[in-house]
Amino acid sequence: MQAKAAIQTLEEKAPEASYTYRSPWKMMLGRFKKNKRALVGLGMVVIFIVVALFAPWIAPYDPFKQDMQVMLESPNAHHWFGTDEFGRDLLSRIIYGAQISLMIGIVGVFIAVIFGVALGTIAGYFGGWLDSAIMRIMDIFMAFPSFLLALAIVSVLGPGMVNVMIAIGIFSVPTFARISRSAVISIKHKEFVEATKAMGGTNARIIFKHIIPNSIAPIIVLSTLRMATAILTASGLSFLGMGAQPPTPEWGAMLSSGREYLRTAPHVSTVPGLAIMFMVLGFNMLGDGLRDALDPKMKL
């Protein structure tokens, strides 16, 4: 009886420990919310997306309308960002240019994700000569600087936004393939994969039900960071005349056309240059934040 009473006394004095299960995604969201730079990057990206989606209603002028009476005007009450060499409103062209930059980045990265993840998953899961063959081809592509490879592809295909998207997708495939392969190799020997094999699961079921869903985190991070690279590459190609063609309001092309007026009207080049900088900065900050949030070693 004394022992029972002592145990009861200890239980009453012991602090109650409450354990609540938190899913990995909730933990990731908690880490992300604590990252101020990531939140700033997310805010910048959201602003550009909203501007691109509602461009027809936000833009004060037609981005293609020319007015020679107001050409090369500095920023003023009627034209907040000034006008270009043809009297077109720069604010309107910047707003519509957000649509083009985001479209090029999304389509280019989507192409890279589809082919890169497919090749990396096949190489990592099956291994052997297939792995060696795929990775050696990826090594050949990675031997060339990304921008030079994109420039070579566009030179062969011809200038234009569609070809720029294809070029961005092609030179981004090796990066996604390597990241996907590494993730698959680390997952395919896990206990749940071995258990699925023992139960008679097919390779297709294992890949699509277990391998890819559990290796998606690094792909999400890389996709966000690659968006910044894609936008910067597209702007560079347009600057060289290999991307969007005039009078398309693409930021790189606007930057190129305005370089002739750097002394007399610097805003013609400065405004699209700042737009490129802020969009690339936003995606980079968002990607860094997602990388930290998805890292299981990070603590709240």
**Domain positions in the chain:** 37-54+88-294
* In the predicted structure, residue 176 carries a pLDDT above the cut 90: yes
Sign of the alpha-carbon torsion through 81, 87, 93, 95: positive
Q: What is the mean pLDDT of residues 74-82?
A: 90
pTM of the model: 0.84
Beta-carbon contacts of 2 under 8 Å, excluding residues fewer than 6 positions away, are none
Beta-carbon contacts of 168 under 8 Å, excluding residues fewer than 6 positions away, are 104, 105, 108, 109, 111, 112, 150, 230, 233, 234
Query: Exposed, middle or buried, 255 (CB in 10 Å: 0-12/13-18/19+)?
Result: buried
| 214-227 per-position pLDDT tens digit | 888 889 889 998 99
Q: For 37-54+88-294, give the CATH class.
A: mainly alpha
> Is residue 208 classed as helix, strand or coil in its secondary structure?
helix
Tokens at 296, concatenated: 């299981």
Q: For residue 190, which of 206, 170, 167, 166 has the smallest C-alpha distance? A: 206
Q: For residue 167, which of 181, 183, 151 has the smallest C-alpha distance? A: 151
| 240-270 per-position pLDDT tens digit | 888 888 888 999 989 888 888 888 889 999 9
Q: What is the mean pLDDT of residues 194-219?
A: 82
Write down the pLDDT at residue 166: 93
Beta-carbon contacts of 66 under 8 Å, excluding residues fewer than 6 positions away, are 86, 87, 88
Count, residues in the chain: 300
| 164-173 per-position pLDDT tens digit | 999 999 999 9
Write down the pLDDT at residue 8: 56
Beta-carbon contacts of 218 under 8 Å, excluding residues fewer than 6 positions away, are 179, 180, 182, 183, 294
Sign of the alpha-carbon torsion through 153, 163, 55, 75: positive
* In the predicted structure, residue 1 carries a pLDDT above the cut 60: no
Maximum alpha-carbon separation in the chain: 102
